[in-house]
Amino acid sequence: MLRVEILEQSINPLRALETCGQGANGAIDLFVGQVRNVNEGREVHAVSYDLHRALCEQTFRQICTEAAEKFGQHLDYYLAHRHGRLEIGEASVIAAVGAPHRDEAFQGCRFLIEQMKRRAPIWKQEHYVDGDSAWLPGNALHQPA
């Protein structure tokens, strides 16, 4: 099974576990990324994520398909990201892989999150305690030739 989601509301880790917890799977690796209160020495009070929904979903599906080709079609894959403003401690991204054995689950899940961070059209704006905010370097939709 393969499920990708872009969500305006909270991401529920149980949804990832349900997607990846099929009968043949003895292992589920679950990665949860959450908003932290400090980045590069600056106190953060919230983060806003902007994204291109259609391209993001397409990229997530492509990443999951590549993971299936690399680690096995019989594994289950889940990849979800939040859109909008998130407070400290809220989950921004969840990646999960269900597999018969732990090594496949660990490797597959790491592949999902690393590829998502490199390739997905998602942009992050941090809002600081001092009232300032800044967009962090993100992915460009257009790559120079």
User: Hey, how many other C-beta atoms are within 10 angstroms of the C-beta on 59?
Assistant: 22
Helical (H) or strand (E) element with 65: helix 53-71
> Could you give the domains of the chain?
2-135 (3.90.1170.40)
User: Hey, how many other C-beta atoms are within 10 angstroms of the C-beta on 143?
Assistant: 6
Question: Would you say 124 and 136 are in contact if contact means Cβ atoms under 8 Å apart?
Answer: yes
- In this prediction, the residues of the chain whose per-residue pLDDT falls under 50 are none
Question: What was the pLDDT predicted at 145?
Answer: 55
Q: What digits encode the pLDDT tens for the residues 95-129?
A: 999 999 999 999 999 999 999 999 999 999 999 99
Question: What was the pLDDT predicted at 11?
Answer: 93
Predicted model pTM: 0.92
Question: What was the pLDDT predicted at 143?
Answer: 58
Question: What was the pLDDT predicted at 140?
Answer: 66
Half-sphere exposure of 110 (CA within 13 A, CB side): 6
* The token pair that represents 80 in the structure block: 């979800």
User: Hey, how many other C-beta atoms are within 10 angstroms of the C-beta on 124?
Assistant: 18
